[in-house]
């Protein structure tokens, strides 16, 4: 019983963070067909900036996190401009975003070292949940923040004008252009929002766990697993898939050990590709 509750709570927190990360990745892909290998940079940069501000500038953790997320958005905009001239060349888009990710990884490595760093959590202390099961409060808060942000995003996409345009462009970019939607503008907004989501995910991750330069590429694995499971370009699909991957991840870690997590991810992906190649809600290419 205790194990089940533990897996549920830990897995939901993990899944919420994956959802913030992967839904953005999926949104960008849906709107622009860009596979953004630099998405992990947005995840890491917010946490690093926040850690730097809290430690060196003695700024409170809330403002520091806000500044961190702004940096994530800026990173997203940089990626937008880097990929703009070559967007039709799939190979080059992957190469440029990957090289950009490694460049930032290297800069972080040189300025912060390769050891993991943690960000001061929004809330300290532990919460007794059941019997003797104690869980750090920040983990519970992370679940609420992630779900709240995802609900807000869902409302934004379905209700606001720009949100509707995002939806339109991801369904049919050419037709949207014909009815007078400024596709480039929609794209910038999408990348901005997606990067902010990744930034929030990074902040929460760094408070519960730790952040290190190599995570920039490592989180991408989970993002890939999520988008393949949920279907490339599907927003709802990626959120559902995130939580499933979250539970798989935590269960694997608890039963087989952490070293199996990547392997299980790959098995899951290959399994899905064999059985249902387009994921839960995949759009046909």
Partner 1 sequence: MRWMVLIVLALLIALCASPGQVQQKRDKVVIGVIGPLSLPEGMSEEKAVKLAVEEINAKGGILGYKVEVVVGDDKLDPSVGSAEFRRLATVEKADVIIGGFSSGVMLAKMEVMAETKTLFLADASSPSHSAKVAENYEKYKYWFRITQNNATTFAYDIADMVKMLRENDYEVKRVYIIRDEHIWAEDVMRELRPLLISLGVEIVKDVKIPRNYAEYESLILEAEKMNANLIIPILALTGTGDILVKQWANLKPKLLIAGHDLAAIDYGFYNKTAGAANYVIFIADGGALVTAPITEMCKNFVERYRAKYGHYPESHQAYGAYDAVYLYKMVVEDAYRKGEKDPFNPEVLVKYLEKFNESNPVILTRPIAFTKNHDLAWGDKLIRNWISQWQDGKQVIIYPQFVANGKLKLPPWI
Partner 2 sequence: MKNQILILLILFFVLILLPTFTPSAYLYLIGLSLIFAVIVVSWDLMVGYTGQVNLGHTAFVGIGAYVSAILQLPLRIGFFWEIHPMIAILFSGLFSALVGLGIGIVTLRLKGYYFSLVTAILPLVFMQKVFIWREVFGGEEGFSIPAEKIVFATTIEKYYFATFFMFISMLIMLYIVRSKIGLRFKAIRDSEELSESLGINTTLYKILAFFMSSFFAGIAGAVFVNYRLTVSPDLYDIPLMLLVILSAVIGGLGSLIGPLLMGIVVYLAKNWWLTALRWGMINEELVLYVILIAVAIIMPRGVYNEILERSRR
Counting contacts by CB under 8 A, is residue 57 touching partner 2? no
- Partner from partner 2, partner 1, none binding residue 92, C-beta < 5-8 Å depending on class: partner 2
Integer-rounded Cα Rg, in Å, for the chain is 19
In the complex, what is the shortest distance from the CB of residue 272 to partner 1, in angstroms, rounded to a whole number? 25
- From 110, 126, 152, 155, residue interacting with partner 2 (rule: CB under 8 A): 110
In the complex, what is the shortest distance from the CB of residue 17 to partner 1, in angstroms, rounded to a whole number? 13
Counting contacts by CB under 8 A, is residue 275 touching partner 2? no
Place of tokens 């750090």: 136
Interface residues with partner 1 (CB under 8 A)?
Answer: 2, 6, 10, 109-110, 113-116, 118, 124-126, 132-136, 139, 208-210, 212, 214-215, 253-254, 257-259
Angle between helices 183-208 and 2-32 (to 10 degrees): 160
- Rounded Cα distance, 247 and 242, in Å: 9
Helix locations, the chain, DSSP H: 2-32, 39-56, 61-83, 90-112, 137-159, 161-171, 173-178, 183-208, 215-230, 235-255, 261-275
237 and 280 Cβ atoms separated by less than 8 Å: yes
In the complex, what is the shortest distance from the CB of residue 212 to partner 2, in angstroms, rounded to a whole number? 14
Counting contacts by CB under 8 A, is residue 266 touching partner 2? yes
CA 1 to chain centre: 30
The interface with partner 2 within residues 240-259 (CB under 8 A) comprises 259
**Complex with partner 1: residue 138 or 232, whichever CB lies closer:** 138
User: Residue 114: which of 18, 210, 40 has the closest Cα?
Assistant: 210
In the complex, what is the shortest distance from the CB of residue 229 to partner 1, in angstroms, rounded to a whole number? 22
78-86 long-range Cβ contacts below 8 angstroms, 24+ apart: 79/36, 79/38, 79/41, 79/191, 79/195, 80/187, 80/188, 80/191, 83/34, 83/36
Counting contacts by CB under 8 A, is residue 78 touching partner 2? no
- From 31, 44, 198, 220, residue interacting with partner 2 (rule: CB under 8 A): 220
Q: Give the footprint of partner 2 on this chain (CB under 8 A).
A: 29, 35, 82, 85-86, 89-92, 94-96, 98-100, 102-103, 106-107, 110-111, 217-218, 220-221, 224-225, 227-228, 232, 259-260, 262-263, 265-266, 269-270, 273-274, 277, 285
């Amino acid at each position: 019983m205790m194990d089940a509750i533990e897996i549920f709570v830990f897995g939901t927190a993990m899944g919420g963070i994956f959802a913030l990360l992967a839904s953005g990745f999926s949104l960008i892909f849906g709107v622009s067909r860009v596979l953004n290998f630099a998405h992990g940079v947005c995840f890491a940069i917010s946490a690093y900036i926040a850690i730097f501000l809290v430690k060196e500038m003695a700024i409170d953790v809330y403002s520091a996190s806000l500044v961190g997320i702004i940096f994530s958005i800026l990173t997203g905009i940089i990626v937008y401009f880097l990929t703009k001239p070559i967007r039709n060349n799939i190979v080059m888009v992957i190469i440029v975003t990957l090289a950009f990710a490694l460049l930032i990884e290297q800069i972080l490595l040189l300025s912060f070292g390769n050891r993991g760093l943690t960000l001061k959590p929004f809330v300290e202390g532990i919460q007794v949940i059941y019997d003797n099961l104690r869980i750090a409060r920040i983990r519970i808060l992370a679940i609420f923040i992630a779900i709240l942000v995802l609900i807000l995003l869902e409302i934004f996409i379905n209700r606001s004008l720009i949100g509707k345009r995002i939806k339109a462009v991801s369904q049919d970019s050419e037709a949207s252009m014909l009815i007078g939607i400024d596709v480039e503008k929609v794209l910038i907004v999408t990348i901005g929002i997606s990067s902010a989501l990744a930034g929030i995910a990074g902040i929460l991750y760094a408070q519960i766990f730790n952040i290190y330069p190599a995570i920039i590429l490592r989180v991408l694995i989970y993002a890939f697993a999520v988008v393949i499971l949920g279907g490339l370009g599907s927003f709802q699909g990626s959120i559902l898939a995130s939580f499933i991957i979250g539970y798989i991840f935590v269960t694997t870690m608890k039963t087989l050990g952490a070293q199996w997590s990547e392997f299980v991810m790959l098995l899951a992906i290959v399994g899905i590709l064999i059985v249902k190649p387009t994921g839960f809600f995949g759009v046909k290419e």
